[in-house]
A and B are shown apart, each in its own frame.
Chain A
Amino acid sequence: MNNFSWYDATTLKEAQNEADTTVSDMLNKDKKGSSIIKSGGIDVMDLMKEGLITPEKIVNIRNIPGLDKIEFDTKKGVRIGANVTLSDIEKNSVIRDNYQALQLSVSKAATPQLRNMSTIAGNLGQRTRCWYFRSVEHDCLRKGGSTCFAKNGENDYHAVMNNGSCASVHASSIATALLAFGAVLEIALENGEKKEVPIENFFVTPYENIKNENVLKSGEIITAIVLPAVNNKTKSYYIKQGARQSYDWALADVAVVVELSGKKCKNARIALGAASPVPIRANSAESILTNEGISESSAKAAAEAAMEKATPLEKNAYKVAIFKSILQRAILKTV
């Protein structure tokens, strides 16, 4: 890892002034800049240790006041500050009682030690774990190169849908749950204003921009993640399947949020992680469940529909079977 200088920002403005690029732009050899912001620093450290980025200055935003609260409002929902750690979310009783899928996704992420250090915003901002992307030897499309090595290479863990351009999958499994809840991100802009971005629009597909996985530009900082209010008819569940039971990235993960009337589903939001380069909604599965009773057969039909458009690569067809199985199980867990 290279030597670097450290700047401890105490306000958003300071952080915006001190940092002159983003991790994504730093990975792209055409762009300039030498200072980046870090929150928990987990992914920044990984990228530096691999020699993928060599920032001269790191701007720490962990000490900016006001970004580390979880606020709950029965009408507005829950607002999670950008610097709230995964451990704090995992232990929060309001989230556990009202947003079970989120609590489950957080509790399955990384290790207890890493959850103590990782922040929710950093988790969403982290880059893909695609082993070609993470390797200095492979100059892949996402880093400004001309090849996707995964498509005709070792694609065991890669995308099974929307994988025509880049076959990586987004690393955040918490994003899967946030997407199912319809979370909205608050982002501080460089001019001092704020904008709200629904999580669906936060992630950028490789078809839109291969060199970025999200919309953040240099000088923009996530300040909070807001989940809309739920009522006692909202049920949710989340299942992640990794290559092992302990600490692992998702091979497949699913989040299901339904509004129930008895056993009947009035409305469903289903999200898939590790299926596609960005977390995606399973719209066809959602329509199958809407206004249907939740049963073995409707859950199965929805799971099948979610994978209808799967285009697995040479080594990852097994992921399709896993998605079908865990989605069916997650749907049934809501009743």
Chain B
Amino acid sequence: MDTKKIKMPYGISEDAITEVEREVPLNEPDAWPVNEKLKHVGKRVKRLDAYAKVTGEARYTSDIQLSGMLIGKMLISAHPNAKIRSIDTSAAEKLPGVYAVHVIKNEEEEAYPVVRYAGQPIAAAAAVTEAVAEEAVRLIKVDYDTRPFVVDIEKAMDPEAPVVYEAPVEQKASEGGEEIESGLKLTGNVRGPNEGRPRGELTSGFAEADIVVENTYRTQVQTHNALESHGMIVDWKPDGVTIYASTQGTQGVRNEFADLFDLPRSKVRVLVEFMGGGFGAKHGLGTHGAAAGHLAKKTGRPVKMMATRKEEQISQGNRPNSIHHLKVGVKKSGELTAIEQKSYGTAGVGLGAGVGGVAQSMYTCPNFKTAQYDVFTHAGPGAAWRAPGAVQGIFGLEQMMDELAEKIGIDPLAFRDKVDPSRVRKAGRKVGAERMDWSRRKPTGSDPGIIKKGIGMAQSSWWRIHSINATAEVKIFKDGAIEVRSGVQDIGTGTKTILAQVVAEEFGLEPEDIMVRIGDTLFPDAPGSGGSQVTASITPAARNAAYQAKLKLFNMVASNLETDVSDLKAADGYIFSSKDETKKMTFKEALKSMPVSQITATESRTKEYDGDYLHWDLGAVQFVELSVDTETGFIKIDKVVAAHSCGRPINITQLESQINGGIIQGISYAIYEDRILDRNTGHMVNHTLDTYKVPYAMDIPEIDIALMEDYNAKSSTDAYGIGEPSNIATAAAIANAVYNAIGVRIKEIPITPAKVLEALNKA
């Protein structure tokens, strides 16, 4: 590959920004300067689809009505552990208005699957209306052979517990989810351990320590609850299948559907124009997409299957819980000497319940060992959930760091200055401490009165994930239209708008001039919205494509302007010679003068300019101020300050919006959400949104965001994601602030009034 050497901005806005030289592919543009010197990138550009969204013009998957469309409904299991003897669908099939019934079977042996949790999808019916489909589902008779079950993680670990799987289990990770180690041992319901990458030697490490602290932290199962539930419409026509999906990955849905129904991928088109939210569980085809496919194939009509809120909570994925043991040694000087970690978590019938790599990677410590186990229970499967593993891991690690700092008698920020090698977090601690006014933080438990105030902080890390299978096509038309096309989807965070900004910046036009067509697999492939990788993957592709399209245009107009192609520039709506600015024409005139009606350039993301594949350095530092009512046990979050890095920020408003969302979900995880399964029946009892608590408007504090520009010179946009980083540290920061307020550490979330009162009573 031909390359060139270019200078690129490098460093952190809150620290120092210098330049670095990189060897980059010749067909990619020169580096942008820092955001301050750009017109659209790094600015507060209004969401292009804001008007459509707030006026209700935007049509989400659940809004779409096709001609002749049937509505599908799911029959879900009434028992947590059972064999199905028989299923009688005759009454359902006879009901007027019912077009088809599909019974879920194991692919290979064509047998009914074993029921392993209450609420497991069993069969689906498609009918003319939702009410008829529901009635049809009620008429399906299932003969269950019920067995004992276990839904509690600790009971499931008992060797005498009913087993979820008789034989060792292998599953592939859900996209964006934690990697799943294959070939691990299964003992009863316990699978593992996954031992990560140990280093050093624990015994000598702990021997060197002045203080050793050992604790167990517990986190709960969290469900997804996107505003728009999981679901799809499948329209199966003789020449191909069109799927309207509420998905965070168009490619993934297409590939899975094509594989399941043995179709060429080119025969399957997946569309998602507007997405009603996804936090990791909406990657693949899913139970409802597959059922809609079967029903559409049978009936020849489009079939819409959206999960009910109850199904969404039970069967469509969740964040696994964790029982997380940490033993850490520290010297009085503040050096960490050893970290030993052991964890158990349940993703129900699924795998992927680890606590991530944060304890392994975040802090300087020569000796480390981990053993992470999955525990099977008769409960709905886990799935990727905004920073899988890391959120659970940080809840323990960052409370441990707080406790260690206290034990050696230094400030939590000063302690991290000693053990944290991250430059962005160092800058984040400084700016965050100023904005929170950390110096007013009182000694732990010293606030008098019934309502006690506390301040705490916690940190996190996330990878700079990107995919080189990310392609964008930029088309410029003679009539003045500019389009950028990609199969990438806008999960709701504003991907459309940032693509317009990037292309507008390259062309010297306004973002509103750019038509962004995405969320359609007819366009070039791009990754799913998982791992916070979309911005890092697709913005360089779009800029590279815009650059190539621009060069093609320059080649066509250079002679008209009597100048060399290499002297041409595009800015402020003009194309002009950088040597003689009187030689210029408007961009529109240039397009009109094209001898062809359109120019297309298609480019992809290339690998990181510095050759690294993955970097673990998207750092965040969050500070929380809160009040604890020591009589009622209620916690009110007063303020959150969040210092974040995500490479070069593209759209400040959208980034802040995503960080707000991450923090709100972090608050929700810390003090409200909890999936409650009845111990005696195995059913989820709080499957409605009035019993499954999430915060509403009055529960949201003031959120102050310090967004650092973090130039790393890694791609033509040097941008990364914020979706996951924004969600990781909040719960631990809240727990540390609760401790600062009341002087008792609560090591289990959600920190409900019951837990606060119990902790105060024991103290």
Contacts and interface: CB of A to CB of B under 8 A. Distances in A.
A156 B681 CA distance: 16
B639 to A, nearest CB: 15
B132 to A, nearest CB: 8
Interface string A263-282: 00000000000000000000
Interface stretch (B290-298, B337-345, B437-445, B690-698): B690-698
A149 B680 contact: yes
A11 interface: no
Contact of A243 (B129, B672, B688): B672
A2 B688 CA distance: 19
B469 interface: no
Interface in A284-335: 315-318, 321-322, 324-326
Interface stretch (B371-379, B506-514, B585-593, B753-761): B753-761
Contacts of A1: 130-131, 134
Interface in A205-260: 241, 243-249, 251
Interface residues of A, number: 35
A241 B754 contact: no
A241 B634 contact: yes
A135 B696 contact: no
Contact of B131 (A3, A248, A325): A3
Interface in A138-188: 138, 149, 152-154, 156-157
A245 B679 CA distance: 29
Contacts of A321: 631-633, 757
Contacts of B685: 131-132, 135, 153-154
Contacts of B633: 318, 321-322
Contacts of B349: none
Contact of A326 (B632, B683, B695): B632
Contacts of B683: 135, 137-138
B690 A129 contact: yes
Given A137-B78, A154-B676, A325-B632, A244 B681 contact: no
Contacts of A316: 754
B335 interface: no
A18 B672 CA distance: 44
Contact of A245 (B130, B636, B686, B688): B636
Contact of A244 (B134, B680, B699): B699
A153 B684 CA distance: 12
A153 B680 contact: yes
Contacts of B132: 3
A318 B699 contact: no
Contacts of A326: 632
A265 B180 CA distance: 67
A2 B131 contact: yes
B135 interface: yes
A243 B686 CA distance: 13
B681 A246 contact: no
A245 B134 CA distance: 35
B610 interface: no
A257 B695 CA distance: 32
Given A131-B686, A243-B672, A318 B678 contact: no
B672 A244 contact: yes
Given A154-B676, A322-B753, A149 B681 contact: yes
A153 B679 contact: yes
B516 to A, nearest CB: 34
A137 B118 contact: yes
A138 B631 contact: no
Nearest to A110: B690
Given A152-B680, A244-B672, A318 B135 contact: no
Contacts of B631: 321-322, 324-325
A131 B132 CA distance: 26
Interface string A13-48: 000000000000000000000000000000000000
Given A245-B699, A322-B633, A131 B691 contact: yes
Interface string A92-131: 0000000000000000000000000000000000000101
B681 A243 contact: no
Q: Is the interface of B mostly helix, strand, loop or mixed?
A: loop
B50 to A, nearest CB: 23
A153 B678 contact: yes
Contacts of A129: 690-691
A321 B759 CA distance: 13
A153 to B, nearest CB: 5
B698 A245 contact: yes
A135 B698 CA distance: 29
Interface in B124-144: 129-132, 134-135, 138
A322 B134 contact: no
A322 B632 contact: yes
Interface string B77-90: 01000000000000
Contacts of B693: 243-244, 248
Nearest to A316: B754
The winner among A51, A152, A246, A316 for most chain B CB atoms within 10 A is A246
A156 B676 contact: yes
B695 A2 contact: no
Contacts of B754: 156, 315-318
Given A318-B753, A318-B754, A137 B632 contact: no
Contacts of A135: 683, 685
A246 B695 CA distance: 7
A325 B697 CA distance: 25
A131 B118 CA distance: 16
Interface in B625-648: 629, 631-634, 636
A133 B260 CA distance: 40
Contacts of A317: 754
Contacts of A248: 690, 693
Contacts of B696: 244, 246-247
A2 B681 CA distance: 27
The winner among A3, A137, A247, A324 for most chain B CB atoms within 10 A is A137
A109 to B, nearest CB: 13
Contacts of A251: 753
Nearest to B760: A321
A137 B698 contact: no
A324 B629 CA distance: 13
B153 to A, nearest CB: 16
B699 A246 contact: yes
Contacts of B679: 153-154
Contacts of B688: 134
Contacts of B752: 243, 318
Contacts of B131: 1-3
A306 to B, nearest CB: 15
B694 to A, nearest CB: 8
A324 B696 CA distance: 26
A154 to B, nearest CB: 5
Interface string B606-635: 000000000000000000000001011110
A37 to B, nearest CB: 21
Nearest to A328: B631
B632 A149 contact: no
A137 B681 contact: yes
Interface in B451-472: none
Interface of B: 78, 118, 129-132, 134-135, 138, 629, 631-634, 636, 672, 676, 678-681, 683, 685-686, 688, 690-691, 693, 695-699, 752-754, 757-758
Task: List the 6 closest pairs (A to B, CB-CB), nearest first.
Answer: A246-B696, A325-B631, A318-B754, A246-B698, A131-B685, A245-B698
Given A246-B695, A247-B696, A322-B631, 9 more contacts: A131-B685, A137-B681, A154-B679, A154-B685, A241-B634, A243-B752, A249-B690, A316-B754, A325-B631
Interface of A: 1-3, 51, 129, 131-132, 134-135, 137-138, 149, 152-154, 156-157, 241, 243-249, 251, 315-318, 321-322, 324-326
18 contacts: A2-B134, A137-B78, A137-B118, A138-B683, A153-B680, A153-B685, A154-B679, A154-B685, A156-B754, A241-B634, A245-B698, A246-B697, A248-B690, A249-B690, A315-B754, A324-B631, A325-B631, A326-B632
